[in-house]
Amino acid sequence: MRNIAGLLFAGGLAFLLLVLASYLPYGQTPMFLGDAILAHAPGEVHTANIVAAVLLAYRGIDTLGELSILFTAAAGVGLILGHRSLRSDSAGVNGAVNSEQHSGFITTRAVDLIMPLLMVVGFYIIFYGHVTPGGGFQGGVILATAFFLPVLVRPGTRIEHGVITLLEGLAGSGFILVGLWAMFYDQPFLQPIFDSFLGTGPLGSLWSAGSLPLLYLAVGLKVGSELAGLLVTVSEVPELSETNISDADDINRK
Amino acid sequence: MDNIVLLVVLPLLAAFLMPVVARSSEVVARTLGLSVLFISIGIILNVWSQSGQIDSQAVSIVIGGFLPPLGINFYVDQISLFFALAVPVMVLLFWPWHRATSIREYSLMMLLTASASGLILSGDLFNIYVFYELLGIASYSLVAIQGRVSAVAASFRYLLMGSVGSVMMLLGIAIIYTQTGTLNLAHLSLLAPEKLNNMLGLASFALILTGMGVKAELFPVNSWVPEVYGSVSSNLAALMAGLLSKLAVIVIVRLLILLFPQPEALQLMGMLGILGVLTGELVAWRSRDFVRMLSFSSIGQLGLIFLAFSIPGEMGMMAGIAIALHHMLVKPALFMLATGWRGAVENLSGVARRSPFVVLLFIVLILSLLGIPPLPGFWAKYLLMVGLSSQDGFIYTLGMIIVPLAMVIEMAYLFKIVMIMYRKDNDEPAVNNSNIVDDSNIVDDSNIKVVQKHSKWGLAIAASVAAMLIAIVLQLQPASDKLLSLANQLSDRNYYISTVFPQIHTVRMQSIK
Amino acid sequence: MPAIEVVLYSGAIGLSIIGLTGLLLLNNVFRMLLALVILESGVNLLLILSGFRLAGVAPVILPEQLSNLSAIVMNDPVPQALVLTAIVIGVGVQALGLAMILRIKAQYGTLNMLKIREQLEFDLAVQSGVATPVSAHSPVSLASGRERQLSNHKDEQ
Amino acid sequence: MIWIVSIVVLVMLASAIAVLVLPNMIAAVAAASVVSLALAVLFALMKAPDVAMTEAAIGAGLSALLLAMGLKRLGLWQLED
């Protein structure tokens, strides 16, 4: 019964969407904002990659909000999975460590070789984010993967969470502090700063976009540490076995 | 004035830094969060005292130094300033003091503060989405870490509903962007009569309403309400029912005024409001558990707010703001009283004899909630009825019937509780029963222990709310003047546009358009 | 209207409808999470389409284009930035949902949404003392509870 | 161009349906990853390189990894059924 109702609802919604689709302006969407930004960005922000200009300069506070969302999610995941019903020493679940085997020699060595390479690629993508496609988000994901690969091939490795906590806290505050730095000069929050130190090189060179690369570095480190933290936290959860469902607080279940 | 942006930035900074600082000193980290809240309050009071002379001047604050519509701006007028003040104050009032928890919970509270302030201040459609999503994720996390697994399950259902809602909202934003090519609210408002006054505009309003309606406890997307409020601590429930739902409502109303001029949008919202009132009050009437009753009554009250805001013109605006503010005061106070009265209403038998003062407080609060003259709730409902009667149209006529009916139902179940409270408990005290249940259930662990006693803090909050209600009655004239000016400012589209784009800019925009 | 855009739009709308249908019809919470991911992808595609031009190039200025910037038609960078944001938000939600599923599975022993809801309603009623808990210490109810959990588990496989 | 786009869109929709109907959970997660991959290809074809990179890295890579790890922890990691 519920399925039929659901199907009807989905069908109705699909019909509505299709009707709406017939109204959409195919191929001639007005791009007021886009065109204005395309015209202004090279002169105002000096980035060759205009998406980076939008992300860090024009809509910088969106990016800050997004970093906060990742932080919130990571904190929430940590707190939820930190519950004792999900720890390997709790009675209800088997140890995870025993159930997984270390990977073979070749995999382990290959990962050890690849990891520094990935780190370099990640940082390259972050630092050249304002010049070429890529940037803090993409580079951050690669950094997180580079950090996590050794854990993946050596299950049971204890990770020091402190490093991740420190990195995520400092990278996030770094982003905000760069924004507050502008306020210190009586400028609006997150106004890009151009001075001789940060460089005002020709468009398309590495030292051309003022404080934006700093912001992108903060974004990259933040995204990398949050995602690495997420992966590590989930990987530390032991396998839930079928027979030992935790009865910890289920005593009076019907 | 530019300091307003710090209301969002400082809590975020504190949230990021707290786990780091806590590694060396837990006490410093905790103080950090609280001091940021006090600083926020200070900033707003400072702005308020400065703008006292010019009175009610709205300001647009540019972020990143890029003028709107290219950049993002914060829009500060009376109502957003008021809610921006309410955010840190209420977070402070309902701070999880008594629970020895991880520092990350305090971090989450700071993120909640930042996102709530950002949501009410932001003047950009996508920025509103980002803050709304942040608010959502922070509240899912806060609900899920309340200890019991039932809180996690409730939170998961809330998460699914909330995420589908925010994806719908994103879809609405995408549709608006394909039509207008811009995201700034003032600019959209300039283009709206021409570009959004059609089917697609209405569809995007419906989508955004679905999305924001999840937090605002709007009718079809509110099934999370009783589950979540039933499984979290009273503090969090008070914060969510009192503050967060109102923020979502105000943002919806702002979008409605600025972006969607078509009358169908108003009617849609009014209809959903009426359905919310009906379902909320009817289920509340049938529920046998105090917190659940409060949750459903909250749904009903929010339905009233939506109904009020769907009345075109200032009268509706005034009524909506009045009911919203009134509910924002009363509901948290009721939730605080509920701390001591968790469980079935039958267990409340004889409470009046044991704690007569608390019951008296409760009666004052519910009388105002019901709208018995001369308490402020009456004036709020009076405004609503006057507004409804001034309109003609099916929805409004229906509203004229539904609102008194809802009041009668509300009266029935609230007075039932009062009757139970004054009943002589000659049979063995039923309270014991619930204690047994709690003990067996707490085996889990949970930082949350169901306190079967009122906390002093909660009583103090409830008492001050009651005092405030009576103070409002004594100061009715100034209060209604203030309300009128709030309503005027909120409903004035042109004022919004001219504030964000000062004159010369407006001319240029129109020529582009 | 260009055929290519029709194909892309139908892809976006199709993806959204598939995701939404999945969310409405499925009962397994893990699969519901997957459906949510698909729904998000569909909306992201739609958002990108709102800034798509057939003749456009990527909004990255290449060194050789510097001389005649005004002659180049670029795609709208704003929706691209928005979608970047939306993708990252999506993965955050997904991780949080996954964590909750793990915890629910550990303690309720089921992934079925209907059963989780039933269990949740019951827990809330017990917590508030409205429902009398099936006598907590009777061995019969415990055993039956365990059996039910196990059978739930078999259903999912 | 149109043929490439059509094929990618078809693959994407087919794997999206597969996510919902495949009985094996590992296959469903893999199909979700294919959806993301196809989406990344579409973004690249639509001249949105930044988004394509992000979708490939996050959607097809990291999120699939996260879900697969979750699957293993849920005890649903069974290759045949």
Residue D5: other Cβ atoms inside 10 A: 19
- Percentage of chain D with pLDDT > 90? 70
Res A225 pLDDT > 80? yes
User: Distance between CA B344 and CA C128 in Å, rounded?
Assistant: 6
Residue from A47, A249, A251, A254 to probe the interface with B (highest B Cβ count within 10 Å): A249
Contact status of D49 with chain C (Cβ, < 8 Å): yes
At B100 the pLDDT is: 58
Tokens of A43: 């002169």
Can you give the length of chain C in residues?
157
- Residue B430: per-residue pLDDT: 44
Q: Measured between CA atoms, how close is C62 to chain B, in angstroms?
A: 23
Count of C-beta atoms within a 10 Å radius of residue B310: 28
Distances (CA, A) of B422 to B288, B362, B402, B426: 17, 12, 30, 12
Tell me what the mean pLDDT of segment B415-441 comes to. 58
Task: Check pLDDT > 50 for residue B392.
Answer: yes
Task: Inform me whether the pLDDT recorded for A183 exceeds 50.
Answer: yes
In this prediction, residue D40 carries a pLDDT of 95
B351 vs A100, higher pLDDT? B351
Find the CB nearest A81 among C63, C99, C126.
Answer: C99
Residue C103 confidence (pLDDT) above 70: yes
Measured CA to CA, the distance from residue A162 to residue C136 in angstroms comes to 42
Q: Can you say how many angstroms the Cα of residue D19 is from the centroid of all Cα atoms in its chain? A: 9
CB contact under 8 A, D73 and A239: yes
More confident residue, A142 or A199: A142
Task: With beta carbons less than 8 A apart as the criterion, state whether B120 and C57 touch.
Answer: no
Q: Is the pLDDT of residue B312 over 70?
A: yes
Q: What is the pLDDT of residue A90?
A: 46
Per-residue confidence band for C142, with pLDDT thresholds at 50, 70 and 90:
very low
CB-CB neighbors (< 8 A) of B61 in chain A: 188
Average the pLDDT over B303-317 and give the result: 90
Q: Which residue has the higher pLDDT, B430 or B39?
A: B39
Read off the pLDDT of residues B139-154 as tens digits, 9 standing for 90 and up.
999 999 887 889 999 9
Q: Please determine, for residue B239, whether its predicted confidence score (pLDDT) is greater than 60.
A: yes
Question: Among A116-120, B185-189, B266-270, B425-429, where is mean pLDDT lowest?
Answer: B425-429
Contact B18, B106 (CB under 8 A): yes
CB pairs under 8 A between C and D: 124
- Whether B174 maps to a domain, the answer reads no
Residue A187 has pLDDT above 70, yes or no: yes
Name the residue with higher pLDDT: B417 or B117: B117
C-alpha count within 13 angstroms, C-beta hemisphere, residue A113: 6
Q: Which residues in chain D have Cβ-Cβ distances shorter than 8 Å to C58?
A: 47-49
Domain with CATH 1.10.287.3510 in chain C: 1-56+74-108
C124 with B171: Cβ contact below 8 A: no
Contacts of C35 in chain D (CB under 8 A): 19-20
Mean pLDDT across chain B: 85
- For residue A227, what is the enclosing H or E element? helix A212-235
User: Cα angle vertex B211, ends B210, B217, to 5°?
Assistant: 70
Q: Is the model's pLDDT at A210 over the cut of 60? A: yes
Q: D76 by DSSP, 3-state: which?
A: coil
Q: Are C100 and A77 within 8 A, CB to CB?
A: no
Alpha-carbon Rg for chain B in angstroms: 23
What are the C-alpha distances in Å from B191 to residues A21, A169, B207? Answer: 21, 41, 19
The length of chain D in residues reads: 81
Phi-psi sector, A163: left (phi>0), alpha (psi -120 to 50), beta? alpha
Q: Give the DSSP H or E segment for C96.
A: helix C77-108
Establish whether chain B is in contact with chain D, requiring a minimum of 3 CB pairs below 8 angstroms: no
ipTM of the complex: 0.90
Nearest CA in chain C to B291: C128
Q: How confident is the model at residue A1 (pLDDT cuts 50, 70, 90)?
A: low
Do B487 and B321 touch, CB atoms closer than 8 A?
A: yes
Nearest CA-CA distance, residue A23 and chain C, Å: 12
Query: Three-class SS of residue C60?
Result: strand
Measured between CA atoms, the residue of chain D closest to residue C5 is: D2
CA distance A142 to chain D (A): 8
Residues of chain C numbered 23-62 and touching chain B (CB < 8 Å): 23, 29, 32, 36, 39-40, 43, 46-47, 49-51
CATH code reported for the domain at C1-56+74-108: 1.10.287.3510
Picking from A210-224, A239-253, B156-170, which range would have the lowest pLDDT averaged per residue? A239-253
Percent of chain A with pLDDT over 90: 25
Dist. CA B415–CA B285, nearest whole Å: 11
Name residue A240's amino acid: L
- B105-109 mean pLDDT: 90
Which residues 62-121 on chain B approach chain C with CB closer than 8 angstroms? none
- Of B43, B40, B42, B127, the residue nearest B87 (C-alpha): B40
Q: Is residue A97 very low, low, confident or very high in pLDDT (cuts 50, 70, 90)?
A: very low
Across the interface, whether the CB atoms of D47 and C75 are under 8 A apart is answered yes
Nearest residue to B215 via CA among B200, B228, B233 = B228
pLDDT value at residue A129: 87
C21-41 confidence digits (pLDDT tens): 888 888 899 999 999 999 999
Residues of chain C in contact with residue B171, where contact means CB-CB under 8 angstroms, are 16, 43, 46
Angle in degrees, CA B68, B112, B268, rounded to 5: 65
Chain D touched by C49 (CB under 8 Å):
yes
Using 50, 70 and 90 to split pLDDT, how confident is the model at A102?
low
A146 vs A47, residue with greater confidence: A146
Q: How far apart are the C-alpha atoms of B106 and B450, rounded to whole Å?
A: 21
Per-residue pLDDT at C57: 86
Q: Do the Cβ atoms of A239 and D50 come within 8 Å?
A: no
Residue B217 CB contacts under 8 Å (≥ 6 apart), including other chains: B225, B245, B276, B298, B299, B302
Q: Are residues B314 and B439 in contact, defined by beta-carbon separation less than 8 angstroms? A: no
Check: CB of residue B131 under 8 Å from CB of residue B122.
yes
- In angstroms, the CA B475 to CA B482 distance is 11
Q: Is the pLDDT assigned to residue B175 strictly greater than 60?
A: yes
pLDDT band at C148 (very low <50, low <70, confident <90, very high): very low
Per-residue pLDDT band at A2 (split at 50, 70, 90): low
Q: Please tell me the number of Cα atoms within 13 Å of B482 on its side-chain side.
A: 13
D16/C26 touch (CB, cutoff 8 Å), yes or no = no
* Residues of chain C contacting residue B440, judged by C-beta atoms under 8 Å apart: 133, 136
Question: C-chain residues within 8 Å CB-CB of B160?
Answer: 23, 32, 36, 97
pLDDT in tens, B470-510: 888 888 888 888 888 888 888 888 888 888 888 645 555 55
**C68 to chain B, minimum CA–CA distance in Å?**
23
Q: Which residue has the higher pLDDT, D27 or C69?
A: D27
User: CB of A26 within 8 Å of any CB in chain C?
Assistant: yes
Mean pLDDT of A196-216: 75
* A131: Cα within 13 Å, side-chain hemisphere: 17
Give the range among A144-148, A231-235, B56-60 with minimum mean pLDDT: B56-60
pLDDT value at A88 more than 70? no
- pLDDT for A91 equals 39
Residues 73-132, chain C: which have Cβ within 8 Å of B? Answer: 76, 78-79, 82, 85-86, 89, 92-93, 96-97, 100-101, 103-104, 107-108, 116-117, 119-121, 123-130
Determine the 3-state secondary structure of B344 from DSSP: strand
pLDDT score, position B52:
61
Q: Cβ A51–C59 below 8 Å, yes or no?
A: yes
Residues in chain A closer than 8 A to B152 (CB atoms): 80
Quickly tell me which residue has 């990016």 as its tokens: A63
3-state secondary structure of B72: strand
The answer for residues whose C-beta is within 8 angstroms of residue C74's C-beta and 6 or more apart is A38, A50, C53, C56, C57, C58, C59
Residue B223: Cβ within 10 Å count: 14
Q: Do B72 and A32 touch (CB under 8 A)?
A: no
Higher pLDDT, D11 or D80: D11
DSSP secondary structure code for residue B184 in this structure: B
Across the range A94-109, mean pLDDT stands at 64
- Position B363 in a domain: yes
Q: How many domains does chain B have?
A: 1
pTM, two decimal places: 0.91
Instruction: Identify the residue whose tokens are 């979290």.
Output: B232
**Interface contact flag, D13 C11, Cβ < 8 Å:** yes
Q: Which of A5-9, A213-217, B417-421 has the lowest mean pLDDT?
A: A5-9
Q: Cis peptide before B374, with omega less than 30 degrees from 0? A: yes
Listing DSSP states for B369-435 in one string gives: HHT-TTSHHHHHHHHHHHHHHH--SHHHHHHHHHHHHHHHHHHHHHHHHHHHHHS---SS-THHHHH
Q: Are C86 and B170 an interchain contact pair (Cβ–Cβ within 8 Å)?
A: yes
Contact A241 D75 (CB under 8 A): yes
Question: Which residue range forms the structural domain that includes residue B466?
Answer: 271-431+450-474
Statement: residue B171 has pLDDT above 60: yes
Would residue B446 be called left, alpha or beta, if left means φ above 0 and alpha means ψ between -120 and 50 degrees?
left
Look at residue A124 in the predicted model and tell me its pLDDT: 93
B61: β partners: B74
- Whether residue C138 lies within 8 A of chain B, CB to CB, comes out as no
Q: Identify the bridge partners of residue B74 per DSSP, sorted by sequence position.
A: B61, B122
Among B191-205, B444-458, C56-70, which is the least confidently predicted range?
A: B444-458
* B125: enclosing H helix or E strand: helix B125-144
pLDDT digits (tens, 9 = 90+) for B438-458: 333 333 333 333 445 677 888
Q: Nearest chain D Cα to A238, which residue?
A: D73
φ/ψ of residue A88, rounded to 5: -70, -20
The answer as to whether B264 is a domain residue is no
Distance, CA of C82 to chain centre: 18
A149 pLDDT exceeds 80?
yes
Cβ density class A2-27: b for 16+ within 10 Å, e for less? eeeebeeebeebbeebeebeeebebe
